[in-house]
Amino acid sequence: MHKQTYSSGAPWEASAGYSRAVRVGNWIFTAGTLAADEKGVIHGVDCYAQCCYIFRKLERALAELGAGLGDVVKVRAYLVNMADSEGFMKAHSEFLGSTRPAATCVVVKELFAAEALVEIELTAIQHQALN
């Protein structure tokens, strides 16, 4: 089965040897994603702003692999502070509310970048597989 990968250009992708997203058949899996740009700078000072940045970044990754947010079936979010769950839920609803994927949200001790408040990963299934 054909495998297609996508890189967002984040510095850790090349150094750690992973892809932002991988498509196999009609399944697309994204890596855990922070609100980091190509230089590793974290965008957004609160969880809601970081989530919006992340969802836009993941939306671009899905689009590059022929899918969209409407194809998302599972969301996993990792928060540093439970108090930030409201910001995550607000952004999740804005970006995925009409899709209503299965979702998991857990609190973790810390994330890869000290300024990061949230990390999100998605699984999507596109109804029509690319050739």
State what percent of residues in the chain have pLDDT above 90.
82
Q: Residue 131 domain-assigned?
A: no
Structural domain tally of the chain?
Answer: 1
Angle ∠(17,21,27) on CA atoms, nearest 5 = 130
Q: Residue 31 domain-assigned?
A: yes
Check which CATH number belongs to the domain holding 48 and give it.
3.30.1330.40
Q: Residue 130 domain-assigned?
A: no
Q: Write the single-letter amino acid at 93.
A: S
The model's pTM: 0.93
Q: Residue 30 domain-assigned?
A: yes
Copy the structure tokens of residue 131: 């050739």
Q: Residue 65 domain-assigned?
A: yes
Give residue-wise pLDDT tens across range 15-63. 899 999 999 999 999 999 999 998 889 999 999 999 999 999 999 999 9
Give residue-wise pLDDT tens across range 108-121. 999 989 999 999 99
Cβ-count burial 14-46 (b if 16+ within 10 Å, e if not): eeeeebbbbbeeebbebbbbbbbeeeeebbbee
Copy the structure tokens of residue 64: 């590059």
With H, G, I as helix, E, B as strand and everything else as coil, classify residue 11: helix
Domain that holds residue 7: 3-125
Q: Residue 96 domain-assigned?
A: yes
Q: Residue 102 domain-assigned?
A: yes
Q: Residue 72 domain-assigned?
A: yes
